Structure 1
Amino acid sequence: MHSFVPYIQLLRPRQWLKNLMLYFPPFLGGTLLQSNIAAGILPLAIFCMVSSAIYIINDILDISNDSHHPEKCNRPLPTGRVSIPAALLLAICLISSGISLASAYLPASFMLCLALYILISLAYTFKLKEYALIDLFCISSGFMLRLKAGGVAFNVTISEWLFLTVFLLSFFLSTGKRFSEKKRLGATAVRHRKVLDMYPRGFLQGLMCMSAAAVLVTYAMYAISKNSSLLLYTVPLCCFGLMRYMIRIQSGSSGDPTESLLKDGPLFATGLVWAIMVGWGIYGT
Structure 2
Amino acid sequence: MKAAHVMVTAILAFLAGVAGTVLVTQPSEARDMQPKTVSPPAARAAPQGAAVASLGDVSLYQGEVTAWLTTLPDGARSALRDKRAMFDDWARRRLAEKALVAEARQQGWEKRDEVSRALARAEDQVLLRSYLSAVSEAPEGYPDEALLKQVYENGKDNMRVPERYHLRQIFLAATGEDAESIETRARQLTQQARAKGTDFAALARRHSDEATSAAQGGAMGPLPLAQLTPEVRPVVAGLEPGQVSDPVRTAAGWHLIKLEQVDPERTATFEEVRGQLTATLREQRRRQNAESHLRRLVGESSLSIDGAAITAILEEQQ
Fold shared, TM-score > 0.5 on shorter chain: no
TM-score w.r.t. structure 2 length?
A: 0.23
Which structure's residues are more often strand, by fraction? 2
Which structure's residues are more often helix, by fraction? 1
- State the structure with bigger RCO (CA 8 A, min sep 6), 1 or 2: 2
Q: Which has the greater radius of gyration?
A: 2
TM-score w.r.t. structure 1 length?
A: 0.25
